[in-house]
Amino acid sequence: MDISGASAIVTGGASGIGAASARLLAKRGAKVVVADLQEDKGQELAKEIGGAFCKVDVTKTEDIINAVEMAKSMGPLRVLVNSAGIGWAQRTVGKDGSYDSAANLDAFKKVIAINLIGSFDCIRLAATAMSVTEPLAHGERGAIVNIASVAAFDGQIGQASYSASKGGVVGMTLPIARDLAAIGVRVNTVAPGLIDTPIYGDGDNSEAFKANLQKGVLFPQRLGGPEELASMVIECITNSYMNAESIRVDGGIRMPPK
């Protein structure tokens, strides 16, 4: 699919995998809306790539609509990358046997609200806009890529909410792809392994932590780069025969229980 001159929305686009994806989309000629809560980083990236920034909380439908409308003003909307997400770690039960020490239910709901429901809200609204764009060859109108995680398959201790949210993203990929086939929109999901993003922090302690993490990677034994993940995102967008797939990009890692 040729995305030159089209518009694209990247949620969580101000940093990490989202920012790398936004840069590659811009290199391919797309006009990118960086949709994020981080205004300073988002504005800076948008200026760098000749795109636009839209402050978006993916749990707020009106914010998503604002991003969609902004994208439509820049060109036909043909791309959505769902990269916004948060992590949370907590044990399901506490150590003292009290109900109060059990996992925080509000925290569980928040992760689901952002990672899963937010992704679906973005899909349903962006796909609505895509449905009325002029079709390309073979009736193609657009492509959507969700960012899940290997935690969808290999969830570790404490990752119940995160794994549930990412597992939900994987689980809805096929039915949504089947649904959106009627309007010529493809849907794929990319599941990253251990990617070197700002989530791990900076400094000596951060580097030591990452060095320990990468021991479980099969080959190459290191953390992945955001650009390596973004290249798969772009392939899912531009390869018109990629549809309804969930693809691990993880160096062969299979996460242990903890």
How far apart are alpha carbons 199 and 49 in whole angstroms? Answer: 23
Burial of 36 per CB tally in 10 Å (0-12, 13-18, 19+): buried
Q: What is the DSSP string of 118-143?
A: HHHHHHHHHHHHHTTSPP-GGG--EE
Kindly list the distances between the CA atom of residue 201 and the CA atoms of 15, 27, 113, 172, in Å, as whole numbers in the listed order. 13, 28, 25, 31
How far apart are alpha carbons 150 and 55 in whole angstroms? Answer: 28
Q: Beta strands 142-147 and 31-36: pairing type? A: unpaired
Count the helix, strand and coil residues of the chain and give each as a percent rounded to the nearest 5.
50, 15, 35
* pLDDT of 22 higher than 90: yes
Percentage of the chain exceeding pLDDT 90: 91
DSSP 224: B
Q: Is 241 a catalytic residue?
A: no
- Residue predicted with more confidence, 212 or 133: 133
- What does the pLDDT average to over 47-62? 98
Burial of 149 per CB tally in 10 Å (0-12, 13-18, 19+): buried
Residue 116: what residue type? Answer: L
How far apart are alpha carbons 132 and 26 in whole angstroms? Answer: 23
pLDDT digits (tens, 9 = 90+) for 23-48: 999 999 999 999 999 999 999 999 99
pLDDT digits (tens, 9 = 90+) for 166-204: 999 999 999 999 999 999 999 999 999 999 987 777 788
pLDDT digits (tens, 9 = 90+) for 105-155: 999 999 999 999 999 999 999 999 999 999 998 999 999 999 999 999 999
Domains in the chain with CATH codes: 7-249 (3.40.50.720)
Note the Cα 203 to chain centre separation in Å. 26
